[in-house]
Amino acid sequence: MQSESVNQWLDADQVRALAESLLAPGPSLNPSPNESIYGESFEGFTVVAAEQSSSKALQSFSKANPGAVSARGISEKPELAERASVENPAAVRKTVPSLPKEPEIKLEPIEQPRPRPQGAPTPVAPQSLNSPRLGEKEKQRHIVASAQAPAREPQPASSQPIKMKQTPQGEVHPNRSQRPEPQRAAVVRSPFKRIAQKQPDRKEPVQRETFRPLPLSTRLQAFGVWLKEQISTQSYFICDRHGEIVVDEVGSEKLIKVARTLAHASSSAGRQVGDDQDLGSLHVKIGPDRVMEVVPRHSHFGLVVLGLIVPRPLSREAAGSVSRALATALADQSSPGQ
């Protein structure tokens, strides 16, 4: 029997039902392979040690532990997606939810290809490959080829149904759980820097009237080509701070959401320590031979998130090179020197 001072103030049946629901054990958080587009080998944020602590704690209770994250918005900046779509609507898709299984738009050949010597990025040769017989360019090609070779070997087909769009180069093997080794391609130079480095050789100053910057969409396409040639990128996407897609070859809303969440958290953490650009390698394992590398980059558009599907995590130097190349591609080139 309840006190008059209490039962007039609340619905006892409702309260009891709510309390009983709280006493029920939590649902298992191990999604079935059919529920998870990442497959059984999905490891989550591999750079976050805290996930391990939660698991340890819950292992003592013989239960699983959640890792709930949520996306959030960021500050006001120019609209990257809108600008890119205006410049080249064919290369842009506006929203994620309406994604078809096959990407509507694929990167088409660049209409105005830049000269190869300027546009082709070249990795720095490791010291062990300083052969005097090889020309500089041949050495660099050799390094890139050797770095890409293991990643491009054909993989056996997986029996696990994976919803995420697969590329012919890398199949997902959910039963494997080996942590991928970082790629050894240490430093990759941006194609855009090469152009910038050559400019000081000009004796005459560049005239503003004669400088004709490439459209943003063209620069992003060139950047995409560079990613595939130099970083072994199988597919990639770029989205702005609102999650609006600028380029998407991945076709997975969930992966993009995961990337945005990781990028926002890492970017905020980076700002707290005073270094919001050199965030190192942020990656999520999505399969035995597939890693989503997340490269957040602050630009005049705000935070831009680049997601790469690569066979192995990028080294810190490679991630930095990608980040700088992305910044260059996004830079407002309406004036020389930018």
Residue ranges in contact with other proteins by CB under 8 A: 1-3, 5-7, 9-12, 14-16, 18-23, 26-27, 29, 48-54, 56-58, 60-61, 63-66, 68-70, 72, 261, 264-265, 268-269, 272-273
Cβ neighbours of residue 158 under 8 Å, at least 6 residues apart?
Answer: 171, 172, 173, 174
* Closest distance of CB 45 from other proteins, Å: 9
Nearer residue to other proteins within complex by CB, 144 or 294: 294
Phi/psi of residue 231, nearest 5 degrees = -115, 5
Nearer residue to other proteins within complex by CB, 13 or 136: 13
Nearer residue to other proteins within complex by CB, 41 or 261: 261
* Closest distance of CB 47 from other proteins, Å: 11
* Closest distance of CB 221 from other proteins, Å: 32
Helix (H) or strand (E) holding 81: helix 80-87
Residues 158 and 174: beta-carbon distance below 8 Å: yes
Task: Report the distance separating Cα 148 and Cα 222, nearest Å.
Answer: 20
Nearer residue to other proteins within complex by CB, 10 or 145: 10
* Closest distance of CB 262 from other proteins, Å: 9
Nearer residue to other proteins within complex by CB, 10 or 90: 10
* Closest distance of CB 11 from other proteins, Å: 8
Nearer residue to other proteins within complex by CB, 64 or 214: 64
What sign results for the dihedral spanned by CA atoms 250, 226, 124, 316? negative
* Closest distance of CB 258 from other proteins, Å: 12
Nearer residue to other proteins within complex by CB, 45 or 237: 45
At 109 the three-state DSSP class reads: coil
Task: Report the distance separating Cα 181 and Cα 49, nearest Å.
Answer: 17
* Closest distance of CB 75 from other proteins, Å: 12
Residues 302-329 as b/e (b if ≥16 CB within 10 A, e otherwise) read bbbbbbbbbbbbbbebbbbbbbbbbbbb
Residues 39 and 172: beta-carbon distance below 8 Å: yes
Cβ neighbours of residue 261 under 8 Å, at least 6 residues apart?
Answer: 69, 70, 71
- 62 by Cβ neighbours in 10 Å (0-12 / 13-18 / 19+) ranks as exposed
